[in-house]
Amino acid sequence: MTQKYRLDKGGFIKRDKKISFKFNGKKYFGYEGDTLASALLANGVHLVGRSFKYHRPRGFIAAGVDEPNAKVQLYHGAKTEPNAVATEVELVEGLIAKSQNCFPSVSFDFGEINNFLSKFFPAGFYYKTFMWPKNFWYKIYEPIIRKAAGLGVAPLKPDPDRYEHKFEYCDVLVVGSGPSGLASALAAAKNGARVIIAEDKSRFGGSLLTDEVTVGNKKGKDWADETIEQLKIMPNVVVKNRSQVFGYYDHNMMVMFERTKDHLEFPNKYTPRQRLWYIRAKEVVASTGSMERPLVFGNNDRPGIMLSSAAKEYLRVYGVLVGKKPIIFTNNDSAYETAIDFKKNGINPIVIDIRENSESSVIKEAKNLKIDIRFSHAIANTRGHLRVNSATIGKLNEQKTNYQSLEDISCDCICVSGNWTPTVHLASQSGNKLKFDENINAFIPNQSRQNETTVGSAKGSFTLKKSLEEGFNKGFELSNKITKKNIKSAIPTSNERSNGKQNKFWCMPLPKNKNYKRCVDFQNDVYVSDIELAIREGFRSIEHVKRYTTLGMATDQGKTSNLNGLQLVSSIEKKIVPEVGHTTFRPPYTPVTIGAIVGREVGKYYRPTRKSPIHAWHEKNNAVFVDAGLWLRPRYYNQGNETLHEASKREAFNVRNNVGICDVTSLGKIDIKGSDSAEFLNRVYTNAWMKLPVGKARYGVMLREDGIVFDDGTTTRISENHFHMTTTTAQAVNVLAHLEYYLQVVWPELNVNVLSTTEQWAGAAVAGPNSRSLLEKLFPDTDVSNEGLPFMGFKEADLFGVPARIFRISFSGELAYEINVESGYGIFMWEKIMEIGKEMGIEPYGTEALSTLRIEMGHVAGSEIDGRTISSDLSLDGMLSKKKDFIGKRSLNRKAFIETGREKIVGVVPLDKKTMIPEGSHIVVDNKASLPNPKLGHISASCWSVEYNNPFSLAILKDGKQRIGEKLYALSPLKSKSIPVEIVSSHYVDPTGERVRS
């Protein structure tokens, strides 16, 4: 295929590098440097998609991020990308793209029936239509709407690409590399500031690429190229293209989306696909330019109708004619440049100008070129199904309410210009309350709330001279605040065409008795009639009109449509635009891939993994791991074809009968030192700590100030002013922050220091009746007898030359010890214990067996300390000191805490002694009662008691111990279970605690 609409020369594409690509299954050619849009237009393809609601044929409107129509699906399979904007997709060999929202094809789309039925689908039709019958919603309406809604198709497979995050700091971030951006960056950089300049497109220069101007006696583009080269070699400047700064967040945190890979034919294997930059900039210069607004007229959304600036960009940057019989339709002078460019390339355009006359230099130039100009005229309607082929034009009457005469002229494209809208998104996101500028009929930034400065056409300065001045001045001013070097750059001279005044008229009247659709929002299919309807139905606030009609929503966020919508509302409501106000601009400015937002935090990098120093041994011995916060802990050690249930039963049974070993490294450990340490513990824990002897451990419970139990654990007095605290694995981090808060904020007078030592110690719990004889062999020089090391005793000892700490504490309820050594010796300790314990039948046990052991002992853990229970609910009232005050004590006489009928801990056994009770089951009196069945409590933890060889659960039950002996039901609607149960004591095994003291 030849590129019939490509000029023989011109543009900045590389004509020696031909590129093939596929669109809707058909092969085309373009050149390196093309976008998908410019390459398609070079091949004469305008029809790219179907509109969202009515499936009307649509073509390209813009040449950049403002494009509302040309959303395409790229590639397929895991790499597929929906809603890619064809004007932003760079052409690369083998690119595959297809149209979205059409079936079976873009030129023949069944969905177009909606267009013929459109009077049944006005704005808000789905709010009114699908109300009844109620049961139709799930089965009929919703599936149909779901199928019809949306644009592209999301990939169903994991993203194969890699994405990166980057954090950067700079003095001045310049967003946009048009004349004002380049000027700001150059001035700031020369003044010694650290500068980042970001350009969304692949080429730098912005309007300098397309405008017939000179800067410093050079062509605009040459000056831009030279300036960029100059910036690139400066060590204090980062120059980035293909980088969209899409968000302005608090304290000048800017987020930028860089496309690093998709445009490369042979990317390096280590290149990420995209990169998200978090840039903390001291000053931000928004030189984001402006966007042309469309004019609104009958059937203004046909393929071939586009912005005049886009036509000029396709011609000047890509050497592409968007048509050979163009009509230029405008209310201002800027469109004449497009007409002149057409003319200079041998194409005769017709200019339709709403204004009565204009005498600026650009119009004189057009007249000299003998361009056909029709003043006081407008386009009333267009024709052409898949591509515009004619326009109905007419002379406007004086009030511009109707046409004096109408005639059809044939065309193959219409280039429209409704003047320019400053791109104020970043300023608005920064908190800048915009103001309406009557002269340009658009909003511009007002007072900056952060260190944001908008320059150039983004603040309505539409001449090159002014843009350059603002850029150089602001670049110097802002950088000088930081560097104070006073190096001022000279502002180069510039030459440009002068433009006359625009006419604000933008929405063409309908000829009498005609009801043509006039499109305001192309992406969302919002027409003039929809906005009129919304106002007729009583929607007044622009935010409500937006949501009712969907004006300005979806992926383009109304870049081309917002202001026209506002103007329409204000003209219907007879208000001025600033009174109507504008909808809020929110980040992201352009769509950002989820991959870039997530970055490297996928799979196992989603969050850090904490492993004990003994982890490798567990792996080698068939441990099955479970997440415990960030920690990976062995859940059980698999032998043969065991199930989890069988393995944990075996392991727990071995602890009760021989000896087991469990890795308890993940328990939180906090080192507490200082002369007031005992006093501090006395305030933090509910029980007494002042008289704890050196070499002794004590169990403690901490409350929150509201009286709820916060955490529990043992703390050991290593020496007079030195304690070793343990916390649960889950709360380790929170307990440390809690202690720090009280020490720094509440009681700074206490002389205490706390430090997390969780990772400094490797811990092993050795539990079971054989544990003492094992310790005797592990520590032959240390007296570990019941007298030498009694329950809750502590000793420092020597483990074959390694210093160790022995704590005689027990979570399993058996005679047990916890041995700590420095982390680096963890594996040595573990293997030594396994080796020596072999003859006593030692076996490792995981968290599942650990749970079994603690549940049947009635020891509480996280499932009982659930943020709702107080000490007495957990039978820990004995731990509450009456003699001293402590954190949370004052809350304990709250009415709700002293009332009878609180839910308290009990044990639960199924009557059949066989059925495991699902955790979370509700306990009720009557299993057949009508719903809602009054709930007495819930099952907090369940296990298979190895002591009694039947299921046993803990429950938090209303009136708790008073119900011991009662027969109730445990109901689990989730598992469809109704289990008759008996309430028993929560201390199911060894209620007097003989074993731990034996």
Partner 1 sequence: MLEIKCPYCGKRSQNEFSYGGDANIKRPELGKEISDSEWDNFVYFRKNPRGKHSELWHHVAGCRQWFKVSRDTSTHEIFKTSKLNEEL
Query: Does residue 831 belong to the site contacting partner 1 (CB under 8 A)?
Result: no
Which region among 232-240, 570-578, 737-745, 824-832 touches partner 1 (by CB under 8 A)?
Answer: 737-745
Helix, strand or coil for residue 102?
Answer: coil
The H or E element that residue 828 is part of is helix 826-837
Query: Does residue 683 belong to the site contacting partner 1 (CB under 8 A)?
Result: yes
Task: Provide, rounded to whole angstroms, the least separation between the CB of residue 667 and partner 1.
Answer: 20
Query: Does residue 748 belong to the site contacting partner 1 (CB under 8 A)?
Result: yes
Query: Does residue 278 belong to the site contacting partner 1 (CB under 8 A)?
Result: yes
Query: Does residue 884 belong to the site contacting partner 1 (CB under 8 A)?
Result: yes
CB neighbour burial string for 592-626, b if at least 16 within 10 angstroms, e if fewer: bbebbeebeeeeeeeeeebbbbbbebbeeeebebe
* Torsions phi, psi for 540 (to 5 deg): -110, -50
Which region among 217-225, 288-296, 631-639, 886-894 touches partner 1 (by CB under 8 A)?
Answer: 886-894
Residues 204-243 as x/- pattern, contact with partner 1 by CB under 8 A: ----------------------------------------
Query: Does residue 744 belong to the site contacting partner 1 (CB under 8 A)?
Result: yes
Give whichever of 280 and 400 is closer to partner 1, judged by the CB atom.
280
Q: Are 295 and 329 in contact (CB under 8 A)?
A: yes
- Backbone torsion region of residue 497, taken as left when φ is above 0, otherwise alpha when ψ lies between -120 and 50, otherwise beta: beta
Distance, in Å, from the CA atom of 907 to the CA atom of 955, rounded to the nearest integer, reads 6
Query: Does residue 885 belong to the site contacting partner 1 (CB under 8 A)?
Result: yes
Among 690, 737, 896, 974, binds partner 1 (CB under 8 A): 737
Give whichever of 684 and 968 is closer to partner 1, judged by the CB atom.
684
Query: Does residue 16 belong to the site contacting partner 1 (CB under 8 A)?
Result: no
Q: Are 41 and 312 in contact (CB under 8 A)?
A: no
Region 73-92 residues binding partner 1, contact defined as CB under 8 A: none
Task: Provide, rounded to whole angstroms, the least separation between the CB of residue 746 and partner 1.
Answer: 5
Alpha-carbon separation of residue 577 from 63, 161, 405, 444, 541 (angstroms) = 28, 46, 32, 13, 12
Distance, in Å, from the CA atom of 381 to the CA atom of 561, rounded to the nearest integer, reads 19
Region 279-338 residues binding partner 1, contact defined as CB under 8 A: 280
Task: Provide, rounded to whole angstroms, the least separation between the CB of residue 899 and partner 1.
Answer: 15
Q: Which two tokens stand for residue 549?
A: 């009609």
Among 706, 720, 796, 994, binds partner 1 (CB under 8 A): 706
Residue that is written with structure tokens 């406007």 in the block:
396
Which region among 249-257, 406-414, 761-769, 812-820 touches partner 1 (by CB under 8 A)?
Answer: 249-257
Give whichever of 156 and 745 is closer to partner 1, judged by the CB atom.
745
Within 10 A of 372 (CB to CB), how many other CB atoms are there?
A: 15
Task: Provide, rounded to whole angstroms, the least separation between the CB of residue 882 and partner 1.
Answer: 12
Half-sphere exposure of 639 (CA within 13 A, CB side): 11
Within 10 A of 134 (CB to CB), how many other CB atoms are there?
A: 8
Query: Does residue 757 belong to the site contacting partner 1 (CB under 8 A)?
Result: no
Query: Does residue 891 belong to the site contacting partner 1 (CB under 8 A)?
Result: yes
* Torsions phi, psi for 116 (to 5 deg): -75, -25
Half-sphere exposure of 10 (CA within 13 A, CB side): 21
Q: Are 902 and 911 in contact (CB under 8 A)?
A: no
Number of residues that bind partner 1 (CB under 8 A): 24
Give whichever of 93 and 705 is closer to partner 1, judged by the CB atom.
705
Give whichever of 362 and 703 is closer to partner 1, judged by the CB atom.
703
Alpha-carbon separation of residue 418 from 297, 350, 459 (angstroms) = 11, 17, 18
Among 265, 627, 705, 720, binds partner 1 (CB under 8 A): 705
Which region among 216-224, 329-337, 659-667, 880-888 touches partner 1 (by CB under 8 A)?
Answer: 880-888
Which region among 585-593, 801-809, 883-891, 934-942 touches partner 1 (by CB under 8 A)?
Answer: 883-891
Half-sphere exposure of 551 (CA within 13 A, CB side): 35
Task: Provide, rounded to whole angstroms, the least separation between the CB of residue 246 and partner 1.
Answer: 15
Distance, in Å, from the CA atom of 501 to the CA atom of 507, rounded to the nearest integer, reads 18
Give whichever of 250 and 781 is closer to partner 1, judged by the CB atom.
250
Distance, in Å, from the CA atom of 379 to the CA atom of 406, rounded to the nearest integer, reads 9
Query: Does residue 890 belong to the site contacting partner 1 (CB under 8 A)?
Result: yes
Query: Does residue 749 belong to the site contacting partner 1 (CB under 8 A)?
Result: no
Query: Does residue 166 belong to the site contacting partner 1 (CB under 8 A)?
Result: no
Task: Provide, rounded to whole angstroms, the least separation between the CB of residue 255 and partner 1.
Answer: 9
Please spell the DSSP secondary structure of 228-252, one letter per residue.
HHHHHT-TTEEEESSEEEEEEEGGG
Which region among 296-304, 840-848, 885-893, 937-945 touches partner 1 (by CB under 8 A)?
Answer: 885-893
Helix, strand or coil for residue 795?
Answer: strand
Q: Are 506 and 564 in contact (CB under 8 A)?
A: yes
Task: Provide, rounded to whole angstroms, the least separation between the CB of residue 579 and partner 1.
Answer: 24
Among 139, 251, 512, 620, binds partner 1 (CB under 8 A): 251
Distance, in Å, from the CA atom of 845 to the CA atom of 652, rounded to the nearest integer, reads 7
Among 14, 364, 449, 967, binds partner 1 (CB under 8 A): 449
Within 10 A of 44 (CB to CB), how many other CB atoms are there?
A: 20
Query: Does residue 140 belong to the site contacting partner 1 (CB under 8 A)?
Result: no
- Backbone torsion region of residue 770, taken as left when φ is above 0, otherwise alpha when ψ lies between -120 and 50, otherwise beta: alpha
Task: Provide, rounded to whole angstroms, the least separation between the CB of residue 432 and partner 1.
Answer: 12
Percentages (nearest 5) of helix, strand, coil residues in the chain: 30, 30, 45
Query: Does residue 250 belong to the site contacting partner 1 (CB under 8 A)?
Result: yes
Within 10 A of 723 (CB to CB), how many other CB atoms are there?
A: 25
Which region among 80-88, 608-616, 884-892, 920-928 touches partner 1 (by CB under 8 A)?
Answer: 884-892
Task: Provide, rounded to whole angstroms, the least separation between the CB of residue 707 and partner 1.
Answer: 9
Which region among 41-49, 509-517, 733-741, 799-807 touches partner 1 (by CB under 8 A)?
Answer: 733-741
Which region among 535-543, 607-615, 741-749, 849-857 touches partner 1 (by CB under 8 A)?
Answer: 741-749
Which region among 115-123, 203-211, 744-752, 968-976 touches partner 1 (by CB under 8 A)?
Answer: 744-752
Contacts of 454 (CB under 8 A, 6+ apart): 285, 286, 287, 288, 422, 424, 426, 427, 432, 444, 445
Region 397-436 residues binding partner 1, contact defined as CB under 8 A: 431
Give whichever of 733 and 836 is closer to partner 1, judged by the CB atom.
733
Give whichever of 438 and 706 is closer to partner 1, judged by the CB atom.
706
Among 103, 108, 110, 741, binds partner 1 (CB under 8 A): 741
Parallel, antiparallel or unpaired: strands 967-972 and 977-984: antiparallel
Q: Which residue from 70, 61, 60, 51 is spatially nearest to 112, judged by alpha carbons?
A: 51
Alpha-carbon separation of residue 291 from 151, 202, 450, 520, 700 (angstroms) = 24, 18, 24, 15, 67
Contacts of 87 (CB under 8 A, 6+ apart): 35, 36, 37, 60, 62, 63, 64, 65, 67, 70
Residues of this chain that interact with partner 1 (CB under 8 A) are: 249-253, 278, 280, 431, 449, 683, 705-706, 737, 740-741, 744-746, 748, 884-886, 890-891
